[in-house]
Structure formats: C-alpha cells, structure tokens
Amino acid sequence: MDEPIYPYVGASVTWPRSGDAAWRQADHPFHVYHMELCLAEAAAAAAEDEVPVGAVIIHPERGVIASAHNQRERLQDPTAHAEMIALTQAANALKSWRLEQCILYVTLEPCVMCAGAAVNARLGMIVYGADDPKAGACRSLYQIPDDKRLPHRLAVVGGVLAEQCAAVLSEFFRERRRWGRK
Ligand SMILES: [Zn+2]
C-alpha cells in the first residue's frame, strides 16, 4: 500500500482492532475528530427538519468514504437512518458489501436495524455518541454487535462527545414542541 491518504494527522492511530486500551476510550482524539464530522451532519439534518442524527464511515487508507444524515422524512423511508445511508455509500465507494476494516461513527447509539446492517457488512467497529435508552441496540436494549449467535462480532465504543450529541437531539425536540409539532 502506498502512503495513506488519510487526512487526519493529529493522533497516533492504532488500527483498528488492536489491544491498545486508549483506542477503546471515548476521548481518543481520533474518535472525537470523527464524531465532530458526525455532529456537522446532524446539524444538516436539523436544518432539514429531520431528527438530527449524523454518521460517517472511514476506511484506513481512504479516510472518510461516507457521510450522511437521517433522511426519513424527506425520503419517507423507514430505513433512511444516517447509518443505513452511510453503509450504502461506503459499499459503493469500495465496490464491496464487505466493510471489514471500516469504522462507523454515529451521533446516536444505533438501532436494531442499523446494528444489524453493521453486522451484515462485517464492519470493523462502531463508535457512537449518545446512548439511546429507547431504541439502542449496541448497549442499551440489545447488544447486537456482541451477540455470539450472529456470524460476526464487532467492537463498540460509546459515549464519544455524548453530551453534544444528546444536546443536538434534545434541542431539536424542544424546538419542535415549541412550534406545536411532534
Ligand atoms: Zn437505525
């Protein structure tokens, strides 16, 4: 492989399933950097009156290969979660449904559908921001990425910029209620 074209140069990176304990920490600068990109996507969703959830997928040599936000309202599609759109973008970018080396970053803990899609994509790792006690399928309600009955397991890191990620959502719903929508 030639010189990596990965744009992030700030932190030393151990990729991706190393035993490096720092890599599993929510305050690792590599994770924080990519969660900030997700927050920008979430802001774009809010501006479109979509529930603000943003996701990016990165590949070790190619960097960010997918960047998406929730588009359920615009597309009137129950599968149009940020993660699902990003997984399709990433598969298109790699011309492969296998995303083994890739990491999915997302502002909110993935639901059953998205965690299941990550398993099906053979994804390397999920890194998310805020826990979702109502629908989270990585830690909160289900632990899909760790389920030994499934054919693939992947690492999960939660809580990256959790307060900012949760604040974007709570602000969105507060504004909605103010305008009498729900
Ligand atoms: Zn989902």
Q: What's the gap in Å between 2 CA and the centre of ligand 1?
A: 35
- pTM higher than 0.85: yes
For residue 155, which of 13, 23, 60, 38 has the smallest C-alpha distance? 23
Tens digits of pLDDT across the chain (182 residues):
344 445 454 444 445 455 567 788 999 888 999 999 999 999 999 999 999 999 999 988 788 999 999 999 999 999 999 999 999 999 999 999 999 989 999 999 999 999 999 999 999 999 999 999 999 999 999 999 999 999 999 999 999 999 999 999 999 999 999 887 65
100 is catalytic: no
User: Which two three-digit tokens encode residue 12?
Assistant: 């030393």
Q: What's the gap in Å between 158 CA and the centre of ligand 1?
A: 15
Single-letter amino acid, residue 130:
A
Which one is catalytic: 83, 109, 171, 175? 83
